[in-house]
Amino acid sequence: MQITLTNASVFEENIFSQKNINAVVSADKDILSLLPADHAFEFNNCVVFPGFVDVHVHLREPGFSYKETIKTGTEAAAHGGYTAVCSMPNLNPAPDSREHLRLQTDKISSDAVISVFPYGTITKGQMGEELSDMDDISPEVIGFSDDGRGVQSDDMMRQAMLKAKELDKIIVAHCEVNELLRGGYIHDGEYAENHGHRGICSESEWAQIARDIELVKETGCKYHVCHISTKESVDIIRKAKAEGVDITCETGPHYLVLNDNDLQEDGRFKMNPPIRGEEDRLALIEGLKDGTIDMIATDHAPHSAEEKSRGLEKSLMGVVGLETAFPVLYTHLVKKGIISLEKLVEVMSINPCRRFGIKQDNCWSVWNLEEEYTVDPESFLSMGRATPFKGDRVFGKCLLTVHNGKIVWSEN
């Protein structure tokens, strides 16, 4: 199997260079069963990126395979140029012990087409009452998270951070103060007020980030904040970094591109945290540009069509994003001159690898940045179809993804 890249722009160490490459890559014949064994791929005037890394995805297996499986989720990731993902632990059973974790890792070993690094839970069953078997599962997890739920008890989070520090693992926190939610399900802003919806206040997010930062100062653990969405969160994290706190954070494509005035009465616009106001969106962009926000993660969270068909109030929280992240961000941020292409690759590949200690070998993807098309969820490899970007015109088509020297996606 020969892959020829002619006049390709290749990303290497934060520099793009023009070069001709004749790359011979071993191919999995099952993946390319429709192609002749001697097929040669030739790409002209394309761009080659290191494999993207998403530190926040929901693969739904075990427990919720009607929403997504490790096989379909990793195929979707490869379709989007990703070669490594970190899988969140809100599963059934939750990976809070070696026995429960094994149910997931066995499936990863047999079904994943790219690298999958699972999280273990912070607390047993993600109930916030007792620490998980952190010592026992530590060798097999990338870090610890109760994603989907904020750890409400200060003392419980302190215990978790001290244990994570001892184990040299990172705490990855979904920050949410339950008592401030007040039954809300979209941002407490203009759209909620105008359409009679119950809103989620920004303080429910940033107040717990502020609490955790004080605990990080006390314990010295490595700490990462999931999917920040508010301007206050950006300010608090920026200040903590200036003080030398060992903290990183992520945001998602929808928070950078949309505000609450873009909402529609459709479950594909419902996620947690919610899409916020325009001031929040602009603050997130500034945080991305100045390095306060270290990486972009999709929070890929597939649900069944029925679960997302109940409107803003009744639909389950979560949207898919692995197959749209790069084209959406390239179209709305890079092509508009808001950030550079180098910056986008840094926050989608370089920074996640550095922070989480992920090493990639011969992992890359080939893109046609000039191809424009309409986002069509029916073309997704993910079982999830709910995306706020349905029908959008975007640029950037993934032509080929290579993981550990094997072709795992080909646009053919």
- 91 CB-side CA count, 13 A: 30
Q: Rounded distance, CA 213 to CA 240, Å?
A: 7
Closest-CA residue to 40 (of 8, 76, 64, 4): 4
Answer for the pair 6, 44: CB distance below 8 angstroms, yes or no: yes
Enumerate the H helices of 181-273 as residue ranges.
190-195, 203-219, 231-242, 253-257
Query: How many residues make up the chain in this entry?
Result: 412
Which one of 235, 299, 361, 376 is the catalytic residue?
299
3-state SS string for 149-165: CCCCCHHHHHHHHHHHH
Closest-CA residue to 271 (of 283, 255, 288, 256): 255
Residues with Cβ < 8 Å from 337, sequence gap 6 or more?
Answer: none
Query: How far is C-alpha 359 from the geometric centre of its chain's CA atoms?
Result: 17
Token duo for residue 26:
């071993």
Closest-CA residue to 150 (of 127, 118, 119, 133): 127
Q: What are phi and psi of 104, to 5 degrees?
A: -80, -45
Residues with Cβ < 8 Å from 376, sequence gap 6 or more?
Answer: 390
> What is residue 357's three-state secondary structure?
coil
Q: Which residue type is seen at 240?
A: A
Answer for the pair 105, 120: CB distance below 8 angstroms, yes or no: no
Q: What are phi and psi of 291, to 5 degrees?
A: 90, 0
Question: Given the structure tokens 């010295």, which residue do they identify?
Answer: 220
- 149 CB-side CA count, 13 A: 19
Token duo for residue 53:
């890394």
User: Does residue 135 carry a catalytic annotation?
Assistant: no
Query: Could you give the angle at the alpha carbon of 52 between the alpha carbons of 135 and 244, nearest 5°?
Result: 55
Token duo for residue 236:
């608090």
Answer for the pair 123, 144: CB distance below 8 angstroms, yes or no: no
The catalytic residue positions are 299
